[in-house]
């Protein structure tokens, strides 16, 4: 069964995906229905074209509430082990030693969506598990940036999937994106002047490149997922609520992409083929740490 058919089958089973005419069209709701700033749910029929045009895709219903509740309990245990500071700054590549992170990153429902956008051959480049907490003395945020700026990839192509462990909305610092900005190409990054930026080297896109008036909030319910292009302008503001927002980001690449220089933390990624073929033999050194589901 093709990835598109698998995703469609899941959609029918969960009665969760709705057909919409345009990527950026929001639902019209009556006064007695729930008001929302969210877009209509993504549909697999338009996944590739929507992603290529807008640079992101959201929201996608993947994990039912009961299943995500179980994952959240494991998330809570991990946070208790590593502490708030470490989980706020981000836990890199823990899919190699934390089984529930591996399960999320390689879940067939997730990979079916990735395949619908990228094609049948899929490699995990990296993962990042992190949480935003209610602001303390220093407000922590993610500055406007493009993911692939410091990753050392050739070509500079990657897809980032965000899986919401907790609800992510405007009040607790959900991701913001500039639709279509991935088509601009790479732009300069500088060191952020405002304290609290949690990016690896404190980088940000200068204000003159970012049209904030066109920013769109990518609000997700727990269990939903979003994709964004490696060159898309995106950020996350400080949380303004008393609620935590934890999520898992998985970076996927196609097998033809290779790392030619160290990333921002002066290292090389341990890539793992999780679906399809590695025809160029670039990503066959590291084996899956756990069974593929």
At 93-151, the pLDDT tens digits run 999 999 999 999 999 999 999 999 999 999 999 999 988 888 766 778 888 999 999 89
Asked whether the predicted pLDDT for residue 76 surpasses 80, the reply is yes
β-pairing, 153-154 vs 258-259, is: antiparallel
Determine if residue 263 is left, alpha or beta; phi over 0 gives left, psi from -120 to 50 gives alpha, anything else beta.
beta
Specify the pLDDT at position 30.
29
- Residue at 13 is within a domain: no
Q: Please report, in angstroms and rounded to a whole number, the separation of the first and last CA atoms in the chain.
A: 16
Q: What angle do CA 218, 220, 240 make, to 5 degrees?
A: 75
Give me the residues paired with residue 220 across strands. Answer: 168
- Residue at 135 is within a domain: yes
- Residue at 169 is within a domain: yes
Name the DSSP class of 28: P
Asked whether the predicted pLDDT for residue 42 surpasses 80, the reply is no
Burial class for 98, CB neighbours closer than 10 Å (0-12, 13-18, 19+): buried
Cis amide bond preceding 155, omega within 30:
yes
The Cα–Cα gap between 24 and 216 comes to 10
- CATH number (domain holding residue 83): 2.60.120.620
- Residue at 19 is within a domain: no
By residue range, what is the domain housing residue 56?
A: 46-275
SS3 165: coil
* 213 vs 193, residue with greater confidence: 213
- Residue at 130 is within a domain: yes
- Residue at 5 is within a domain: no
Specify the pLDDT at position 191.
86
The Cα–Cα gap between 200 and 250 comes to 16
Average pLDDT of the chain to the nearest whole number? 85
Neighbours of 118 (CB within 10 A): 24
Q: How many domains does the chain have?
A: 1
Listed ranges 127-141, 173-187, 188-202; the one with the highest mean pLDDT: 173-187
Phi, psi at residue 220, to the nearest 5°? -130, 140
Average pLDDT over residues 56-70: 97
The Cα–Cα gap between 56 and 182 comes to 9
Specify the pLDDT at position 208.
92
- Residue at 84 is within a domain: yes
Burial class for 243, CB neighbours closer than 10 Å (0-12, 13-18, 19+): middle
Q: 247-282: buried (b, 16+ CB within 10 Å) or exposed (e) per residue?
A: bbbbbbbbbebebeeebeeeeebebbbbbbebeeeb
- Residue at 257 is within a domain: yes
- For the chain, strand residue ranges (E) read 56-61, 91-92, 122-132, 142-145, 153-154, 159-164, 175-177, 190-191, 203-204, 216-218, 224-229, 234-236, 245-253, 258-259, 272-275
């Amino acid at each position: 069964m093709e990835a598109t058919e698998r995703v469609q089958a899941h959609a029918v089973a969960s009665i969760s995906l709705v057909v919409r005419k345009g990527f950026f069209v929001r639902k019209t709701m009556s006064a007695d229905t729930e008001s929302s700033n969210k877009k209509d749910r993504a549909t697999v029929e338009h996944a590739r074209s929507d992603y290529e045009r807008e640079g992101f895709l959201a929201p996608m219903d993947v994990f039912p509430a009961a299943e995500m509740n179980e994952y959240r309990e494991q998330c809570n245990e991990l946070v208790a082990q590593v502490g708030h500071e470490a989980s706020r700054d981000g836990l890199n590549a823990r899919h190699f030693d934390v089984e529930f992170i591996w399960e999320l990153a390689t879940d067939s429902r997730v990979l079916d969506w990735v395949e619908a956008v990228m094609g049948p051959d899929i490699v995990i480049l990296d993962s990042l598990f992190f949480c935003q907490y209610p602001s303390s003395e220093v407000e922590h945020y993610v500055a406007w940036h493009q993911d692939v700026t410091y990753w050392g990839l050739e070509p500079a192509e990657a897809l980032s999937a965000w899986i919401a462990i907790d609800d992510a909305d405007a009040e607790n610092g959900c991701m913001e994106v500039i639709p279509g900005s991935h088509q601009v190409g790479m732009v300069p990054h500088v060191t952020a002047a405002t304290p609290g930026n949690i990016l690896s080297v404190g980088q940000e896109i200068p204000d003159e490149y970012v049209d904030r008036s066109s920013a769109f909030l990518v609000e997700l319910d727990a269990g939903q997922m979003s994709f964004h292009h490696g060159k898309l302008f995106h950020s996350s503001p400080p949380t303004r609520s008393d609620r935590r927002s934890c999520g898992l980001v998985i970076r996927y690449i196609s097998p033809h992409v290779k790392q030619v220089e160290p990333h921002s933390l002066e290292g090389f990624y341990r890539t793992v083929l999780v679906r399809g073929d590695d025809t160029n033999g670039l990503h066959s050194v590291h084996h899956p740490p756990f069974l593929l589901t």
